Structure 1
Amino acid sequence: MTTPSLVTRDLTIRFGGHVAVNAVSCAFHPGELTVIVGPNGAGKTTYFNLISGQLTASSGTVEKDGQEITRLSPSARAHHGIGRAFQLTNLFPHLTVLENIRLTVQARAGLGWHMLRPVSHYRELARKAEHYLEATRLTPLAHQTAANLPHGDQRKLEVALLMAMEPDIYMFDEPTAGMSLDHAPDVLDLIRGIKADRSKTVLLVEHKMDVVRALADRIIVLHNGELLADGPPEEVMSSQIVRDVYLGTSEGAA
């Protein structure tokens, strides 16, 4: 087993008297895609927010490559290689698809526009932007504004921006939510491509069990903010307690 790229130790957050995530300890490894499942209100997105820094833990720690990052801001965590895509698309709506990607590439390189900087710097950024445009099959839409894209293509653009950040850890919160049957396979193929890079760690929150089956190397189940199960998909999905709490009669019927 590889050294963990990401570890949460007794990670906990309280909102008043409510414990939304309760002492969750997990280690995530490069080359592994972990799907986080659980019923509504189980704490899945809250756990994601604690890892990516949108929420600050009440107690416990988050570690990236052995370094504690629990108190770092979301932007600082992104700088350390944690990339996050949200349930709702987070784009520059009035810029074109290409401009969205180019700005992300430029930000990743730490470069603003400077008239004394050699033109070759910007040519390299443009080449990188074109690469991510092609990788996400968005080249035909390069000059359309993000706001005018169908929802499925907006989700593909968000994946392109995430890839352009070049993170070590990819976090997807219900990546196919609200997508048509035509667009969902495109986004899942992009995630498969990321998963194929064994240096990357992928975390996925998902409700759709067909997506879970198609992608998961490992499943963790949260219930009432606590870690209920953690293991290979077949083992977790066959567990009676998991079926009782999460999968229920719909999975049994399936």
Structure 2
Amino acid sequence: MRAHANPTPALETRGLTIRFGGHVAVNAVSCAFRPGELTCIVGPNGAGKTTYFNLISGQLPPTAGQILLNGEDVTRMPVSAKTRRGIGRAFQLTSLFPNLPVLENVRLAVQAHQHRGLDLFSVWSSHRAIREEALACLERVALTDKRNQPVASLSHGDQRKLEVAILLALKPRIFMFDEPTAGMSVDEVPVILDLIHEIKQDTSKTVLLVEHKMDVVRSLADRIIVLHNGTLMADGDPAEVIASPIVQQAYLGTAEVVTEAAPEVAHG
């Protein structure tokens, strides 16, 4: 795990809990995330990983607990307010406008970040600057050649890449990726992994990554937390967490999965 010059968490959850009827989906999770750190959140299906993300980003209101952003209580803030304060999340395709061109989707995100609309009284140079910034985001996810296609015509993998471009356009301080490479072909995956690796080099950014692929976890994580039945089960150095017996039994299933050599992921 990295050493941190700034001990103040960028993001913190304290006793974060949500119940659906008698089911506790996230159970009193307390965890702090610091700038310059990439934390992988792992656990079996149904462990509460995406629900935990939904609570942090504002899609769901918690039953109990707090969410702090740079020490400020943002627990009850809506998604839009949390986004303005720097929490950015890739929304698993739900934030895309399928009938608009790819470039327009990203341009709208750039515009939203700048808190302004485009109207007849806007200066044309600002229009051009917004478009150029949107194109730069598309270039980072290798979608420039598809900028004029409607989103609905993209493959699932390209739509996931577009999600990441939109997230980049919002310029968050907290990056939240929920299985960003799901549905991508083998040759598409390195584009996103290299980009996440690049983001984590910026020590002012905090990255949270939900991921099932252990080779990805090993290659990117500074820290791993494990959720199981909504409860925080382990938190620490990746090698130690992966090797712990409780994680092998509850998440990885067998020791063979833990001890096999992980494929190397290039970072350019």
Question: Could you say which TM-score interval applies, normalised by the shorter chain?
Answer: over 0.9
2:182 aligned counterpart, secondary structure: coil
What residue number does 2:160 align with? 155
2:94 and 2:74 map into 1 onto residues whose CA distance is 25
Q: Which moved more, 1:124-133 or 1:225-234?
A: 124-133
Match of 2:9 among 4, 7, 21: 4
TM-superposed CA distance for 1:120, in Å, is: 2.2
- Number of aligned pairs? 254
2:168 and 2:196 map into 1 onto residues whose CA distance is 10
The within-5 A match list for 1:47-86 is 47-86=52-91
After superposition, the Cα gap between the structure-2 partners of 1:110 and 1:95, relative to the gap in structure 1 and judged at 3 Å, is: same
The within-5 A match list for 1:126-141 is 126-141=131-146
Q: Deviations over 1:210-244 (max 9, x none)?
A: 11111111000011111100001001011111111
Q: Deviations over 1:130-178 (max 9, x none)?
A: 2212222221112122111122221111100000001000101111112
Letter in 1 for 2:106: I
Match of 1:40 among 27, 34, 45: 45
Aligned residues: percent identity?
63
What residue number does 2:107 align with? 102
What residue number does 2:119 align with? 114
What residue number does 2:176 align with? 171
2:178 and 2:95 map into 1 onto residues whose CA distance is 12
Tell whether 2:142 aligns with 1:124. Answer: no
Segments of structure 2 that go 5 or more residues without pairing to the other structure are 261-268
Q: Which moved more, 1:46-55 or 1:108-117?
A: 108-117
Runs of 4+ that moved beyond 4 A: none
Letter in 2 for 1:158: E
Letter in 2 for 1:103: L
After superposition, the Cα gap between the structure-2 partners of 1:9 and 1:135, relative to the gap in structure 1 and judged at 3 Å, is: same
Segments of structure 1 that go 5 or more residues without pairing to the other structure are none
- Whether the 8 Å CA contact 1:155–1:187 is kept in 2: the answer is no
- Whether the 8 Å CA contact 1:89–1:158 is kept in 2: the answer is no
2:185 aligned counterpart, secondary structure: coil
- Whether the 8 Å CA contact 1:89–1:155 is kept in 2: the answer is no
Q: Which moved more, 1:132-141 or 1:83-92?
A: 83-92
Q: TM-score, normalised by structure 2?
A: 0.91
- Whether the 8 Å CA contact 1:44–1:205 is kept in 2: the answer is yes
- Whether the 8 Å CA contact 2:88–2:172 is kept in 1: the answer is yes
1:235 aligned counterpart, secondary structure: helix
- Whether the 8 Å CA contact 1:33–1:204 is kept in 2: the answer is yes
Match of 1:214 among 215, 219, 227: 219
What residue number does 1:237 align with? 242
